[in-house]
Chains A and B, each alone.
Chain A
Amino acid sequence: MSVNRRIFLSGTAAALAAPAVSTTGAFAQEKVVRFTLSQDFTRIYTFVTSEYNQGQRDYFTLVNERGGINGYRIVADVSDHANDLPRAIEAYERGKREGSVLIDPLSTPVARALVPRALEDKVNLVTAYSGRSDAADGTSFPYVLPLSINYWTQAGLIIDYFRQIENGNLRGKKVVFVHIDTPFGKEPLPILQVLAQRLGFELLPFPYTPPGNDQAAIWPQVRRARPDFVIFWGAGVGQTVALTEAIRNGMRMDRVSSSVWISESDMDVVGREAAKGVLKVEPCVSGREPKPIRDILAEVVAKGKGAGPEAKVGTSYYNYGVQMGSLMVEGVRKAFEKAPNGPVTGPWLNEGLRSISNFTAEGLLPPTTVSKEDHQGGGLGRISRWDGAKFVPATDWFTANQDIVWAEIRKYSEEFRRSGK
């Protein structure tokens, strides 16, 4: 017993002494651009994160295999923050110390806690599909970069697509908004309310309690409301359950849409055939057709350097990862154009990221222009339909209702600026 305890104690002591060990120095002399990808692999987003992260890292490998940018290699420090703030802040500080110029936490609570730090330290905080939607206003949030269509824009796109289906008139129609009852789920509500008033449709919000693995109480009510259109809004397990319930309650699948958060992996759970017709917002092309994905398959995965299982290459979330990876790399490229000799710092990369113009990543993205005013990248997206095997675009790249979205963005960024003083 006493030996056990002694071993136990010394083991504990070793574990406690370990933070002194750090990974600094390994790449110190090389020419690298360092990114911190501290994301949630274990708590809430799990498979979403691993697919997203796999896409990012595969893209960085592709760039590095081709000789990097201007002789610089991209180094991505990947770690797990499990959506826990102390862990995420530690990862952020560690990254900053090691010279990281960008952090992508892929988590709304973490991004929100990092915003004041990133603004103060001038570290680029990428908040794709997470964080504060009002960060689209680059004048208030110079170092917070969503680089993607925010939830308000996504809601605007969905409603506009419904309007297109109804030949431009939604008057008297019923739109049901089934959402997780958290700030994230309620976020699109103001946009939808304004649109309901403007376009004359009836909006019926149905909240379900988080985490949303039981929505049996909500959907019969949805059915009773006889909606013309259904929007479901959640993340993780809630999405799969919502889709299952929508099918079970006989919703017309081609009138049901979600945000960017629905993927092939969800379809496997729901049943690929059963979900046929369901709509989603697509911020970039899915599948293996786009050139960057084919390049990754040929130059990274085929050589055994892929970051994860080959089967996941080309899925929606994987492609979101490649999308973000390519935007980050494009930012680096632009930064080198502006200041070829660096120094590689946060402000240096910031200049580059905020001058991305008409970038399509060889056909993967809609033309994306990030400016000092607009961090959303132009607000282009498209609606896609699940055909039983893959997502097929139902529209071309388009943007809609940006006046309402920007009114909301300005309202909150103004508030942020005022309280930050």
Chain B
Amino acid sequence: MFYRRAGIRHTRYQDERQLFPLRFDRWLILLVLGFLVLAPFTLDRLYLAGYLLPWLIWSTAALGLNLVMGGAGQIHLGYGAVMAIGAYGSVHLVRYGVPLEIAMIAGGLLSATIGIIFGAAALRVKGIYLAMATLAMQYIVDFVISQTPAISGGSLATIQVPPVRFLGFSVRGDVETYFVALSVCVLVTLFMLNVRRTSFGRALAAVREKDYAAQILGVSTFKYKLLAFWVSSFIGGVVGSVLAVCYLRAVSPDQFHIELSIQLLAMVIVGGLGSVLGPFFGAALILFAPIVLNNLMGLISTTLGVSMSIDLRAHVPLMAYGALVIGFLLYEPLGLAKIYDNLRNYLLVWPFRHAQR
């Protein structure tokens, strides 16, 4: 119906090679991008600062994690720590007067350097053992940060982010922070869309499917596993610094605990391993389902006059949220991206039910 793939025949290589071969997809992307760019000027601040901004930041982080998990098939339970390194690194640099753009990249490089050390474990171990190695990273980084007053900032353990400028604009209000987060998100998304078409992406896929088969094919698993950790840690570090500067505005160790890593992991899995769209869906669900369910419960109890103890009211959304996640895993283990894909495939050839691939 909308997509109208039937009958399209590419006559030039460029057409075949473009990121979005379908016109409808292109328009959809433009529409979403247009909405995102215009959002600060049309949407209420609640939706901008309360929903869109965290969604962009968490989606970008999930994209970075998805590269190492969905792309290279390496389990990573310490992504929160990676973000912490980037956040602390860049905030400290900014406090020393380094411009934010450079501090962000430096934070990313710092994360990548430390991330790759733990990623090296991936050369020896796999699966659950790698999960434990990265979990260790989470705890070691947590420990080092909270035990080093020079990093965490003394007995209050909170470092304020000083006012900063990004590419000449002061990053202060909601609109500016939003655009910084948006531009980083767009860059990372573009990178992710393209990476699968490069030799790097293909090598990662080979490593993901069977690492020794990849080695036999001539793909250096040593090199590509490390590269996967390097790139994803770099992205994690940059996102960590975006999170600190644009959203939290003050860094403290308890913002980057294991909960953050688990949250990101859930986003990647619920969203869809290995897809680019998935992290966006996953982040939206994991971030907002509890909020929405909570508000719904609040609405029900105030408007319908249902008297409910606050403990029950607080726990019902939790149960519903758990059921929701289990439901996704039962009915669509490939994640939300796959649900969208099914929908798209159905509409591609509508009104016909099946079409030749």
Contacts and interface: CB of A to CB of B under 8 A. Distances in A.
A182 interface: yes
Interface string A330-346: 00000000000000000
A182 B156 CA distance: 10
Contact of B309 (A79, A112, A308): A308
Interface stretch (B7-15, B98-106, B193-201, B249-257): B249-257
Nearest to A9: B339
A31 interface: no
Nearest to A108: B254
Interface in A1-52: 4-5, 8-9, 12, 15-16, 18-19, 21-23, 26, 41-42, 50
Interface in B60-96: 95
Given A93-B50, A183-B253, A26 B311 contact: no
A93 B45 contact: yes
Interface string B36-62: 000000001111011100100010000
Contacts of B162: 419-421
Given A19-B288, A113-B249, A183-B156, A94 B302 contact: no
B236 interface: no
Contact of A93 (B46, B287, B294): B46
A86 B250 contact: no
A186 interface: yes
Nearest to B252: A112
A42 B45 CA distance: 27
Nearest to A417: B160
Nearest to A412: B156
A398 interface: no
A113 B253 CA distance: 12
A116 interface: yes
A275 interface: no
A90 B295 CA distance: 11
Contacts of A237: none
Contact of B250 (A82, A115, A133, A187): A115
A41 B45 contact: no
B318 interface: yes
Interface centre among A12, A15, A109, A183 (most CB of B within 10 A): A183
B70 to A, nearest CB: 21
A375 to B, nearest CB: 15
Contact of B51 (A19, A91, A117): A19
A190 interface: yes
A308 B254 contact: no
Given A115-B250, A117-B249, A89 B49 contact: yes
A71 B353 CA distance: 65
Nearest to B320: A15
B331 A181 contact: no
A349 to B, nearest CB: 20
A124 B158 CA distance: 20
Contacts of B327: 8
Given A113-B255, A133-B156, A15 B50 contact: no
A80 B58 contact: no
B109 interface: no
A21 B331 contact: no
Nearest to A77: B298
A50 B310 contact: yes
A89 B313 CA distance: 19
A255 B135 CA distance: 40
B160 A183 contact: no
A112 B250 contact: yes
Contacts of B356: none
Given A22-B295, A79-B294, A419-B95, A113 B248 contact: yes
Most buried by A among B95, B299, B310: B310
Contacts of A132: 156, 158
B278 interface: no
Interface in B324-342: 324, 327, 331-332, 339
B91 to A, nearest CB: 10
Interface string A131-150: 01110000000000000000
Nearest to A181: B146
A415 B149 CA distance: 14
Contacts of A115: 250
A253 B42 CA distance: 62
B132 interface: no
B303 interface: yes
A94 B288 CA distance: 14
Contacts of A42: 314-315, 318
B146 A187 contact: no
A340 B325 CA distance: 51
A109 B252 contact: yes
Among A42, A77, A80, A96, which residue has the most Cβ atoms of chain B within 10 A? A80
Contact of A187 (B45, B95, B156): B156
B249 A116 contact: yes
Interface in A281-323: 307-308
B184 interface: no
Interface string B152-164: 1011111111110
Contact of A421 (B49, B50, B154, B163): B163
A240 interface: no
Interface string B229-257: 00000000000000000011110111100
Given A4-B331, A187-B156, A307-B310, A80 B294 contact: yes
A147 to B, nearest CB: 18
A270 interface: no
Contacts of A190: 155
A183 B331 CA distance: 43
Given A16-B292, A113-B249, A86 B254 contact: no
B243 to A, nearest CB: 9
B110 interface: no
A321 to B, nearest CB: 12
Contacts of B157: 183, 186
A87 interface: yes
Nearest to B163: A421
B254 A90 contact: no
7 contacts: A5-B331, A42-B318, A82-B314, A96-B45, A109-B252, A419-B162, A420-B163
Interface of B: 44-47, 49-51, 54, 58, 95, 146-147, 152, 154-163, 247-250, 252-255, 259, 284-285, 287-296, 298-299, 302-303, 309-311, 313-315, 317-318, 324, 327, 331-332, 339
Interface of A: 4-5, 8-9, 12, 15-16, 18-19, 21-23, 26, 41-42, 50, 53-54, 57, 77-80, 82, 84-87, 89-91, 93-94, 96-97, 108-109, 112-113, 115-117, 132-134, 181-183, 186-187, 189-190, 307-308, 408, 412, 415-416, 419-421
